Amino acid sequence: MNLFSLEGRHALVTGSSQGIGHSIANALCDAGATTIFHGVQDESEIEAVDHPYIQKDLLVEEGPEELLEEAFAISPTLDLLVSNAGSFFDPPFREMTKESWSKTIALNLTSPYLLVHGFGKRLIEQGRSGAVVIVASTNAVQSEKDSVAYDASKGGLAAMVRSFALDLASHGIRVNGLAPGLIKTPLTDVWMRTRPDILKHYDHTIPLGRVGKPDDCAGAAVFLCSPAAEYITGHILTIDGGLTAQQIGPPPA
């Protein structure tokens, strides 16, 4: 038995047009899962995808439910969900508004809740088991300046993992999370390209000696979806090169 095989499984990965989600979706495919990709961009604007792709804005009120409906229409036996879609909208503290707070919470916290809740209800009604992976962040436990809404949303996701795990365990649905640290994605690449001094600092500070890549998160997601993790639920796996293991980083190089 291949403990890491996902043959015969059907997955939806939100926010998989680029970055961490794209790497996770490709890894699930490589492990044998039939995978539906999702993003807000038009299919013509994203990296080539040889798999079903759903364009849906999760900030629209009915977006999460419509995404689930379309995904189950494509794969009626959908049994894996990776809730990855999210972003960073925080302005500096003194410029923070109720609107910027609400936008962050709507995308990063409310839409994952609606997706996991709707996914779980469908599987329960069909009498099927499954697995959910929610992508949170190390910001759930270690905050950053000018990041209050983002940090709060990721802390909420960590709590959501534990709560959903308890609610769904008796139905054979496992719920776990990933907490990536600093990962080079289209979102973070903007400042990495303009501030090589900061990138050099992080490479020096992170115990494993480098900023993470999206592919560093992919194997962890496959593991949590696979039979190898069949007795794991309510757990958040940190992927940060050891950054949160240390109290104070090394002195400047």
Catalytic residue from among 113, 150, 202, 231: 150
Contacts 24+ apart (CB under 8 A), 53-60: 53/17, 58/14, 58/85, 58/107, 58/111, 58/115, 59/103, 59/106, 59/107, 59/111
* One-letter identity of residue 144: E
Q: Which tokens hold the place of 246?
A: 């240390």
Question: CB of 16 within 8 A of CB of 22?
Answer: yes
Distance CA 31, CA 97 (A): 43
Task: Find the distance separating the first CA and the last CA of the chain, reported in whole Å.
Answer: 48
Q: What is the DSSP string of 164-229?
A: HHHHHGGGTEEEEEEEE-SB--HHHHHHHHH-HHHHHHHHHHSTTSS-B-THHHHHHHHHHHSGGG
Residue 143 CA to residue 152 CA, distance in Å, equals 9
Query: Catalytic annotation on 53?
Result: no
CA distance 156 to 158: 5
* Whole-number Å distance between alpha carbons of 168 and 70: 23
State the catalytic residues.
Answer: 150
